[in-house]
Chains A and B, each alone.
Chain A
Amino acid sequence: MSTTNADQLLALKQEAANAVVDVNEPTVKLVIFALSDRFFAFRGEFVKEVLPGDERLFYVPGMPSSVQGVINVRGDIESVILLNALLHLHEPEKVVSGSILLAKASGMRSGIRVDELLDVADLPLSQLQHPPESLPEALRPYVAALVDFSGKPIALLDIEKVFVDYQAGLG
């Protein structure tokens, strides 16, 4: 065990105390996920449920390829869509079941398939940063903020804008 002096010890304790998160700071709940080698999040208030990706899916003809089909969630029939085309992300080379985020926004609801659910976390609002200019053009309309989570840059998506544009025929 190494020795120290009281001043150093008190200074260290003061640093540690300053590092404690202010519990009164407003936080935002984020549902963080991976999609096509990138990391995204939705605000938790818009994600009603996270379903396993291997839910039985029923193909429905007469739909664009971004509509995977429908699932039966305790008697409610929900669509399952892919956001790869809307966000200009490459299509998955192999079938990844991942997870299905059941989202509701702007009067619409749908399942959204993601490659992997990473976390559901409460983060201080102050950690949200404006999206940088360097963000790919296709993502700009949909990224409301950037946040660092465990060293990963997470793009917080505006789910309302996503649904409105998807309904309008984009993606």
Chain B
Amino acid sequence: MITRPDLNQLSLPLVLIYQSQHILALESRWVLGCHAFNGGQRMTLQNAAGIRYLHFCGDVEFIELPAPQLHPLPALMFARKTWSAVKALVEYRGQFFVLLDALLLEEDLNGNFVI
């Protein structure tokens, strides 16, 4: 008999990026580190394409998100999304924001990720 894991016992490690008015989340498994750089932050990520950098202004936070607080995108939104990296919705501290797929982040001309 196959037993399903209890969702209430699972969590998802995330890195939250506080970018101006918005909060964006990335799975921490892709994040190698983050440090101050040129007045902002430079996050080092590793995906299938190798190591990439993500520059932004704002704070970062590491959280362990309880599994019930991760929600799939409603079907119509999934069908209509204009930003392919938008993967799911995160519910945290009474707010909702997007989880981005690090494998689908766009790159600028220098090969750095952009958000």
Report which A residues bind B (CB closer than 8 A).
58, 60-64, 66-67, 70, 72, 77-79, 81, 107-110, 163, 166-169
Contacts and interface: CB of A to CB of B under 8 A. Distances in A.
A109 B71 CA distance: 15
Contacts of B22: 61
Given A67-B80, A166-B80, A169-B80, A62 B86 contact: yes
Contacts of B71: 77
B96 A63 contact: no
19 contacts: A58-B97, A60-B86, A60-B89, A60-B98, A61-B24, A61-B86, A62-B83, A63-B80, A64-B80, A67-B76, A70-B89, A72-B96, A77-B74, A77-B91, A78-B74, A163-B76, A168-B79, A169-B79, A169-B80
B81 interface: yes
Contacts of A110: 74, 76
Interface residues of B, number: 20
Nearest to B79: A167
A108 B75 contact: yes
Nearest to A66: B80
B77 interface: yes
Given A62-B98, A72-B96, A108 B76 contact: yes
B85 interface: yes
Contact of B85 (A60, A62, A72, A109): A62
Given A61-B22, A166-B80, A167-B80, 20 more contacts: A58-B95, A62-B85, A63-B77, A63-B80, A66-B80, A67-B76, A67-B80, A70-B77, A70-B96, A72-B91, A77-B96, A78-B74, A79-B74, A79-B76, A107-B75, A108-B76, A109-B75, A166-B76, A167-B75, A169-B80
B76 A61 contact: no
Nearest 5 A/B pairs, CB to CB: A62-B83, A58-B96, A79-B74, A62-B86, A167-B79
A49 B14 CA distance: 34
B82 interface: yes
A74 to B, nearest CB: 13
Contact of B82 (A64, A70, A166, A167): A64
A63 B74 contact: no
Nearest to A111: B74
A58 to B, nearest CB: 4
B46 to A, nearest CB: 23
B10 to A, nearest CB: 17
Contacts of A109: 74-75
A60 B80 contact: no
Nearest to B74: A79
A166 B77 CA distance: 10
